[in-house]
Chains A and B, each alone.
Chain A
Amino acid sequence: MIDEPLINVDRLAVRRGGRLVLNGLSFALRPGGFLCVTGPNGAGKTTLLLALMRQVAIAEGRIRLAGRALSDYPQRDLAKLMGYIPQADGRPVSFSVEEFILLGRYPHWRRFSTVTAEDRRALRDAMALTGTEVFARRSVSTLSGGERQKVFIAAALAQESRILLLDEPTAFLDPRQQAEVSGLLRRLNRERGVTVMMVTHDINLGAFCADEILAIRDGASAYSGPASGFYKPDVLEDLYRIPFEVVGEGSGGPLRVFHR
């Protein structure tokens, strides 16, 4: 069925350290959608990511990916469906950019397989899309924050999964690098049909890229629906409990949100 949601979360509850961090969260993400998950600190955004990646145990509720229970996926099949780009944490990576991106092909490899023409093509495509060819031979650890983020996105693209999960993709980047990364994500979604789920504090980033918003507060959904309905002063004020101003409505361009 073509209209089956790629991600379907139903009344999800997750307990961490004895506390219910997520409690009855439900949402669905359709194929080709761009979902921005946002909300105040400690609302459970990161926990939702961890639950989708099977890094935390689910207390109640269900998660289904492409019509199949999340718990039923072998790890490689899960990787073929869903790629992940962690928050830029400056971790040491001594591989060259090319080697690192090529490792994104892991779910497609067998134990002793060598690099195939298909792998080479995926590598070239991913590097061309992200503009990372220019530093192919450099070590990942020598790159700037923005270059690094593009390399991590390229590696997830080489993986050729249908969904990309991103954790704060533009944190710690300067404005130009932020614009490059967010522009790249938007292009991947609009032109390549990659389904994106992005967790971020930055509601303006969501306004620029996303077509759907999931706002989490106290472990449950505070807003779930099209982006256009989210960027209203009253909705934002209700979520963050401070006054907001929305600029650019009706201009055709992206909205900007300021708190007053």
Chain B
Amino acid sequence: MIVPPEARGRFLAALAILTVAAIAASMFLGLKSLDWAAVCQGTSGGVDAEIFWRVRLPRVCLGFLAGSALAASGMAFQAMFRNPLATPYTLGVSSGASLGAALYVKFGLALGLTGLPWLPLAAFLGAAGSISLVYGLTRASRGFSTATLLLAGVAISFFFTSFIVFIQYIGDLTTSFRVARWLMGGLETVGFGPVLQVLPFAFPGILAVLCLGHELDLLAIGEDIASARGVAVRTIKKIIFFVASLMVGGVVAACGPIGFVGLIVPHVGRLVIGPRHRELAPFTVLAGGAFLVLCDALGRSLIAPMEIPVGIITALLGGPFFLALLLRGRSERENI
């Protein structure tokens, strides 16, 4: 741990300030450099203000929310499965959510359901379904060893992905292309609609991981120990899996399956601030949001005027990171 226990509070405060600064800076990155004076005039400020208030700001907000939620759900999965490689992406939970969303787009829209945010709800159901599957599978084979967990995740991912490919196949060209593009993961948004849509899905989970620090600590040690220390294990597990499904479902519905945020951020957090979730959770929420916003800024500027979808950026960074962790885990002890 780089930060000693006494300094962790101050470190988190500094990180919060840094996060805000990074987000503010990234809003001025982009195809068109904005005139600050025009932006300040609000809606009457012409094109520059329009770009800032309707495109850049919502995009950054969406990125922060999605990054926080994905990192928080990754951290929660790692504690629940007692394995540092458990993330929404590696466990197949993102694929489940994607399938839920794709099924809704293909068949559900025709039902003309209104009144509720059906798309993220469908993604939530897909996420919850795959969590139950992967948890049941790994539990049936006794224990969450890396091999079992990753195999179960890969199997579930393949299974769901083939369904998605099938939906693309039977769909028309436009639908197929839209699904394919959405599967790359991106934060394109116009207006605050998507932000407001993700918020109720992301917020309960972020709040839960911030409040359940001790419970996550104890569950990461083992369910027997957690239970012996007085944690109502079944209840807490249900809460965590429920809010994690909400987070993944909400984010996947709005942004597509963005991978590896839930792997990189909590892992760096453990190195920097230590394994205690009282400190790790705020780190993960802050740094997860900032990380995705910065990745998106990178995606917008690397090959400008074209944009790289943020999911590709995180995968390019995350793939090698994942491999390094996997290789290191073989030689050293696996630590959560």
Contacts and interface: CB of A to CB of B under 8 A. Distances in A.
A91 B82 CA distance: 10
Contact of A106 (B222, B231, B276, B336): B231
A94 B231 contact: no
Contact of B335 (A100, A104, A107, A141): A141
Contacts of A92: 82, 333-336
Interface stretch (A73-81, A212-220, A244-252): A73-81
B225 A53 contact: no
Contacts of B220: 94
B230 A75 contact: yes
Contacts of B224: 53, 55, 84, 86
A103 B221 CA distance: 10
Contacts of A75: 227, 230-233
Contacts of B276: 95, 99
B214 interface: yes
B275 A94 contact: yes
A106 B229 contact: yes
B225 A111 contact: no
Given A141-B333, A141-B335, A93 B221 contact: yes
Interface in A90-126: 91-95, 99-100, 103-104, 106-107, 109, 111-112
Contacts of B336: 92, 94
A39 interface: no
Interface in B212-254: 214, 217-218, 220-222, 224-225, 227-233
A80 B230 CA distance: 8
A118 B27 CA distance: 49
Contacts of B228: 53, 79, 82-84, 156, 165
B230 A106 contact: yes
Interface string B198-218: 000000000000010010011
B218 A106 contact: yes
B228 to A, nearest CB: 4
Given A91-B222, A95-B217, A95-B276, A111 B229 contact: no
Nearest to A142: B333
Which of the listed residues A95, A99, A156, A165 has the most CB atoms from chain B within 10 Å of its own CB?
A95
A8 interface: no
A103 B217 contact: yes
A218 B217 CA distance: 38
B230 A103 contact: no
A49 to B, nearest CB: 10
B270 interface: yes
Interface residues on A, range: 20 to 34
A191 to B, nearest CB: 23
A131 to B, nearest CB: 21
The SS class assigned to the A binding surface is mixed
A132 interface: no
Contacts of A94: 220, 270, 275, 335-336
Nearest to B212: A111
A159 interface: yes
B226 to A, nearest CB: 9
Contacts of B222: 86, 91
Interface string A58-76: 0000000000000000011
Interface in B302-336: 333-336
Contacts of B232: 75
Contacts of A112: 211
A95 B231 contact: no
Contacts of A141: 333, 335
Which of the listed residues B214, B228, B333 has the most CB atoms from chain A within 10 Å of its own CB?
B228
Interface in B42-79: none
B221 A159 contact: no
Interface string B9-45: 0000000000000000000000000000000000000
Contact of B229 (A54, A95, A107): A107
Contact of A111 (B211, B230, B233, B270): B211
A37 B149 CA distance: 35
Nearest to B275: A94
Contacts of B82: 91-92
A104 B227 contact: no
A54 B226 CA distance: 13
A9 to B, nearest CB: 18
21 contacts: A55-B224, A75-B231, A75-B232, A77-B230, A79-B228, A79-B230, A82-B228, A83-B228, A84-B228, A86-B222, A92-B82, A92-B334, A93-B221, A95-B217, A100-B221, A103-B217, A103-B229, A106-B229, A107-B229, A109-B214, A141-B333
Closest 9 CB pairs of A and B: A79-B230, A107-B230, A84-B228, A76-B230, A94-B335, A106-B229, A94-B275, A75-B232, A92-B335
Interface of A: 53-55, 75-80, 82-84, 86, 91-95, 99-100, 103-104, 106-107, 109, 111-112, 141, 156, 159, 165
Given A91-B222, A112-B211, 12 more contacts: A76-B230, A80-B230, A93-B221, A94-B220, A95-B217, A99-B276, A103-B229, A106-B214, A106-B230, A106-B231, A156-B228, A159-B229
